[in-house]
Structure 1
Amino acid sequence: MNIYGVVGFKNAGKTGLMERLVAEITGRGLTVSTIKHAHHSFDVDQPGKDSYRHREAGATQTLLASKTRWALMTELRGADEPPLAMLLSHIAPVDLVLIEGYKRDRHPKVEAFRAETGNPLLALSDPTVKAVATDTPQELTQPQFDLNDTQAIADFILGELGL
């Protein structure tokens, strides 16, 4: 499975870049799935709905299905957060899986970087960061792209993967 990450600190532009990359790459006829790492608790279900009630009653997994989509929710119930490799095993085959976050994992990545945030560049110390998408040119050995040049960033990722 081809995977590529988008990493960076908070407010660096990761989610916007992910959204644009998905649109750009699927617009080229390739299939893309995404994985997003959250550093906080989140809920995709709504209180009072049947699936929420199943989960709240103690179900470890709840699968919700309709004619337009299905979703599988898994409650960890105190277990450790699953590693990225395990999550990837649940993704149906596609041309590319784009991963937002998981900056400590060892897959290839593009770093989204906005100078105004004052955060350090991950690319300076992480060899898995293969390029930087930035709003301000930086002194780097890795290729860098304008943060808004989605086509060039997509070309780079697809070229790296031979797609």
Structure 2
Amino acid sequence: MRIIQITGYKNSGKTNLSTKIIEMFTEIGLKVGSLKHHGHGGIPLGFSNTDSEKHRKAGAAIAGVEGEGVFQFSAPDLSLEQLIDFYAFMKIDVLIVEGFKDQPFPKLVLLSEKEDRHLLDRVKNVKAVVSSFTLEDAAAYPTFKRDETDAFLSWLKQDMIDNKSDYAWK
């Protein structure tokens, strides 16, 4: 399984770009998974006041519910690595991880404001930058403007083929 992490601050376009990447890899026949960090505080919608949440509070290590093709589970003690292992178990070819800024996976960094530039100094393993403004000092990374989606997707697909081991999980 290959992993690419999409990171940026709120409203930087992470979900929009993630969706385009998922569509691209799906169209070429890869099985794509996504894992999103809920960084807005609190429990994501769909878990509070549910029977599966009551099971979790009663001590279940993992509590899940399935219906109409949707499977949700809560597992308070699972690490990010264990969650990723779950996707690997499901035989995913490419996992898109959205958020989790401090994790070491190959990253695509989205910058929507010039004030966000410091994010490049904070995170590790940057593969490329997508920005709404011109970056004067980003020569260390392939850099794409937000409206260069086709060029960016073409670069990403080729980079993940050429440098497959850079993106490999375990």
Q: As a proportion of its length, which structure holds more helix?
A: 2
Distance 1:126 1:50 in 2: 38
- Which has the larger displacement, 129-138 or 37-46? 37-46
Helix, strand or coil: the match of 1:22?
Answer: helix
Once the two structures are superposed, what CA deviation does each residue of 1:23-49 show, in whole Å capped at 9, x if it has no partner?
2322332221111122322233252x4
Could you list the runs of 4 or more consecutive aligned residues of structure 1 that deviate by over 6 angstroms after TM superposition?
A: none
Amino acid paired to 1:108: P
How far apart are 1:143 and its partner, in Å?
Answer: 1.1
How far apart are 1:127 and its partner, in Å?
Answer: 5.0
Look up the match of 1:128. 125
How far apart are 1:88 and its partner, in Å?
Answer: 0.7
| Alpha-carbon RMSD | 2.4
Distance 2:134 2:145 in 1: 8
Query: Is structure 2 residue 151 aligned with structure 1 residue 149?
Result: no
How far apart are 1:134 and its partner, in Å?
Answer: 0.9
**Aligned residue runs from structure 1 range 51-62, under 5 A:** 51-62=52-63
Identity of aligned residues (%): 26
Contact 2:53 2:74 survives alignment (8 Å): no
Distance 1:125 1:51 in 2: 37
Distance 1:6 1:109 in 2: 6
Contact 1:45 1:52 survives alignment (8 Å): yes
How far apart are 1:11 and its partner, in Å?
Answer: 2.4
Distance 2:128 2:83 in 1: 25
Helix, strand or coil: the match of 1:111?
Answer: strand
Q: So what's the TM-score if we normalise by structure 1? A: 0.80
Q: Against the structure 1 CA distance between its residues 56 and 85, is the aligned structure 2 distance closer, same or farther, given a 3 Å change threshold?
A: closer
Distance 1:45 1:66 in 2: 14
How far apart are 1:126 and its partner, in Å?
Answer: 4.4
Gapped regions of structure 2 (runs ≥ 5): 165-170
